[in-house]
């Protein structure tokens, strides 16, 4: 079985700062993997390179059998990669349904007219927003904005979903809703790379973790084992805790 995502020796420099150094890892189809690390460790830079938002200075990124290393974001999306962000970025002049419908233009399958509208309703129902497509985005609570963003990502029918701190800012009850939704995606066989600081969510969702520090991978393996490693504790909490 081929890997859903294969990253080899990824490298990124900003002037004199090496943000990502020789990072390599892979995701199997249907796997939910946590990409962890303290602030400034390089994990969001890796996400930006996978999605095409930043060019790589070295290394390769393969989605299945396709080399997407040098592709622009719209071409990466057409290949089947979707992404959410820590801060929701809705188009405020459009309805909830129109926000989701717009993402179909960037997916890797074409849908038009009634078929497209039915797909939007399907994805809104999947995330818990059934029947709310005609509402204005300004009417949505924060968790419902997160749901809409997820529906927008899923409407492009991705092979790989990048969740960049999608659960950030949620209260405990909202966090449970968010975790349940990602678990629902797991049940559908979606491949997910999840950047997250909320360890409750990581333990609930990720069978495996990759931990970065100062631009390099310092640990990889089953979540419980990785999170207990002294090098990982040191990266997050310092020498005294390690």
Domain boundary assignment for the chain: 5-237
**Does the pLDDT at position 26 exceed 80?**
yes
Please provide the DSSP assignment of 34-80 as one string. Answer: EEE-STTSSHHHHHHHHHTSS--SEEEEEETTEE-TT--HHHHHHHT
Mean pLDDT score across all residues of the chain:
90
What is the share, in percent, of the chain residues with pLDDT greater than 90? 69
pLDDT (0 to 100) of residue 169 = 86
- What pLDDT is attached to residue 37? 93
Region 199-218 average pLDDT: 94
Tell me the per-residue pLDDT of 51-74, one tens digit each, with 9 for 90 and over.
999 999 999 999 999 999 999 998
Burial class (CB in 10 A: 0-12, 13-18, 19+), 174: middle
Give the C-alpha separation, 207 to 125, whole Å.
27
What is the pLDDT, as a whole number, of residue 116? Answer: 84
pLDDT surpasses 70 at 182: yes
Name the CATH code of domain 5-237 (choices 3.40.50.300, 3.40.190.10, 3.50.50.60, 3.30.930.10): 3.40.50.300
- Entry field: residues in the chain: 242
């Amino acid at each position: 079985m081929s890997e859903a995502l294969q990253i080899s020796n990824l490298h990124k420099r900003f002037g004199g700062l090496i943000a990502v150094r020789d990072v390599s890892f892979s995701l199997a189809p249907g796997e939910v993997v946590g990409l962890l690390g303290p602030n400034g460790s390089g994990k969001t830079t890796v996400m930006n390179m996978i999605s095409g938002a930043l060019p790589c200075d070295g290394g390769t990124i393969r989605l299945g059998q396709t080399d997407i290393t040098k592709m622009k974001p719209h071409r990466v999306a057409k290949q089947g990669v979707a992404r959410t962000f820590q801060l929701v970025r809705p188009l405020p002049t459009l309805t909830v349904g129109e926000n989701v419908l717009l993402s179909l233009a960037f997916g890797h399958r074409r849908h038009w007219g009634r078929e497209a509208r039915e797909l939007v309703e399907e994805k809104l129902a999947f995330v818990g927003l059934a029947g709310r497509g005609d509402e204005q985005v300004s009417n949505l609570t924060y968790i419902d904005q997160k749901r809409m963003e997820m529906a927008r990502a899923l409407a492009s029918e991705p092979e790989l979903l990048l969740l960049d701190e999608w659960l950030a800012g949620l209260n405990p009850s909202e966090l449970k809703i968010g975790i349940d939704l990602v678990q629902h995606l797991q049940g559908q066989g979606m491949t997910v790379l999840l950047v997250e600081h909320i360890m409750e969510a990581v333990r609930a969702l990720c069978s495996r973790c990759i931990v970065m520090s100062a631009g390099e991978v310092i640990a990889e393996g089953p979540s419980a084992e990785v999170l207990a490693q002294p090098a990982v504790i040191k990266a997050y909490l310092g020498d005294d805790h390690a």
